[in-house]
Amino acid sequence: MFGIQKSANSESDSLLSIRFTVPIIIENTATIFIGLVLSGIYSGISASAMAAIGMANTVVTVVSSFFAIVSGSTAVIVSRHIGAGEGREAGEVVSQSITLSALLSLGMTALTVALSTPLFKLLIPTAEASLFNEAVNYFRIMMLSLPGLVLISVLSPIFRAMGSSHVSFTATIITSVSQLLFSWVFIQKFQMNEIGAGLAAVLCRVIGTACLLFALLRDHRFFTIHIKDILRLHRSTCKRIFRLGVPISLESIIVQLGYMLANSMVISLGTFESGVYQIINTIGSFTGLAQGICSAIGSAVIGQLLGAGRPDRARKLGRGIWAAGLLSTAMLCSLVLLLGRPLSGLYSSDPATITESARLLWVLLMMNMAGVSINAIDPQLKAGGDVNFVMIMTVSAVWLIRLPLTWLFCFKLNMGVVGIYLGNSISLYFRAILGFIRHCGKKWYVKKI
């Protein structure tokens, strides 16, 4: 475990022990590789399936980003309470987060399913009919998995805050393997295509949510959760969750909207360019492996150290996480550049698409070095309560830098897919530099949670 179970203030307790970090590394690695396999299965549906599912997943991400109002704030508050040894307060926040997640996600599911067709007509008005229909069909089914997706995003960080990263690891493996098996059966055996892909996601998230809830109700080390506590709302606790969660959620929503608009620009470039973009993004999920690991470790560990009143240790350890992320990303990107063509061939049978995708994989190194810096530093700033700074910085980078530059590079300078990545990279380096400068100071960890 990483420290608190024995003594939050003991330097001898290793907050980055093998028992804590290894499950997070394996969890993220397995998720990435299973995602790559899933993308291979999806690519066999049709020539437009990768682009359609990619666009629909982007919309799902935008919708689910609203729930950072609960998941983002819960992760920060619970880690701080556990670090301070305040079990009762942590338990109250957890129970209310479950209640809010369930109620809000059910309402959002009904709304988005009803509005799916006009929504996609607005987002991809020039898309080919086959791509449009696949995107809408997949999106409708996927949205049925939203309650499970939201609850998993709330519960997994709670277990990491408790030092039980092996629980979220186990649930993630069960969820991912289930999705892979269901997808193979529904798509390959029953020929259900994009409907099968969406249905597989629904079933696996039901299983994942059940695993995490079962484990949470049985774990009484730091706090105890009762069903009766989940079934009623506590106004003061909900207000506290929202007070911290609103800036986190606004940041996430506005940023994801920007990403969605950028993806819609890609769709307008045509099916070929869209396919290349999705292949590069799929391979990029492997080169971005360190980002998820740094984010998960940083949020839990730094939050606990700050809760335990150890800011100097938090800053030093946080800088180490950042450096390790940069080194790991450089190594992974170099490996992908060496294997570019065979990797691209896993997701397309079209020689022109494979050649173009392999040729452009260099953009991943340019983009992911900034990306891993952001994913290492920003969660630490949030753990310190500096959510408003992160929100303003991120929103500015996406809407004032990325989107205008993407439009300029793609439609005025005719740079195609390269323009998409170039605009994104410039905005990412802007965020990475400002975030690192902020982390070097002291203002970020003196905020009230």
pLDDT tens-digit map of 200-249: 999 999 999 999 999 998 888 888 888 887 888 888 899 999 988 888 88
DSSP 3-state of 324: helix
Q: Look at 169 and 18; give whichever has higher pLDDT.
A: 169
CA 47 → CA 40, 139, 180, 185, distances in Å? 12, 18, 21, 20
| Closest of 77, 109, 106, 80 to residue 94, by C-alpha | 77
User: Mutual orientation of helices 68-83 and 362-383 as an angle, nearest 10°?
Assistant: 60
Joined together, the tokens standing for residue 202 give: 């629904």
Rg from Cα positions in the chain:
21
Q: Are 260 and 84 in contact (CB under 8 A)?
A: no
Rounded Cα–Cα distance for residues 293 and 16 (Å): 12
The pLDDT value recorded for residue 4 is: 40
Rounded Cα–Cα distance for residues 113 and 353 (Å): 33
DSSP-derived secondary structure letter, 162: T
The pLDDT value recorded for residue 2 is: 39
pLDDT in tens, 107-143: 999 999 999 999 999 888 877 888 899 999 999 999 9
Joined together, the tokens standing for residue 3 give: 């420290």
> What are the residues whose beta carbons fall under 8 Å from the beta carbon of 114, sequence distance 6 or more?
none
The pLDDT value recorded for residue 283 is: 83
| Closest of 274, 256, 342 to residue 50, by C-alpha | 274
Query: Residue 191: left if φ>0, alpha if ψ -120 to 50, beta else—which one?
Result: left
Portion of the chain with pLDDT greater than 90, in percent? 39
Rounded Cα–Cα distance for residues 266 and 240 (Å): 40
Average pLDDT, the chain: 86
The pLDDT value recorded for residue 287 is: 84
**Which amino acid is it at 218?**
R
Q: Look at 5 and 385; give whichever has higher pLDDT.
A: 385
Average pLDDT of span 191-204? 94
- The pTM score is 0.77
Rounded Cα–Cα distance for residues 63 and 46 (Å): 26
pLDDT in tens, 268-279: 777 777 778 878
Q: Are 297 and 22 in contact (CB under 8 A)?
A: no
Average pLDDT of span 301-325? 89
Burial 291-330 (b: 16+ CB within 10 A, else e): bbbbbbbbbbbbbbbbbbebbebbbebbbebbebbbebbb
Joined together, the tokens standing for residue 51 give: 């682009």
Joined together, the tokens standing for residue 276 give: 């290349």
Judged against a pLDDT cut of 80, whether residue 166 lies above it is answered with yes
Joined together, the tokens standing for residue 386 give: 């500096």
pLDDT in tens, 13-52: 444 566 778 888 888 888 888 887 888 888 788 877 877 8
> What are the residues whose beta carbons fall under 8 Å from the beta carbon of 402, sequence distance 6 or more?
258, 262, 423, 424, 426, 427
**Per-state percent for the chain, helix, strand, coil, to nearest 5:** 80, 0, 20
CA 69 → CA 37, 57, 245, 291, distances in Å? 31, 20, 4, 21
Where does the pLDDT of residue 1 fall: very low under 50, low under 70, confident under 90, or very high at 90 and above? very low
The pLDDT value recorded for residue 17 is: 61
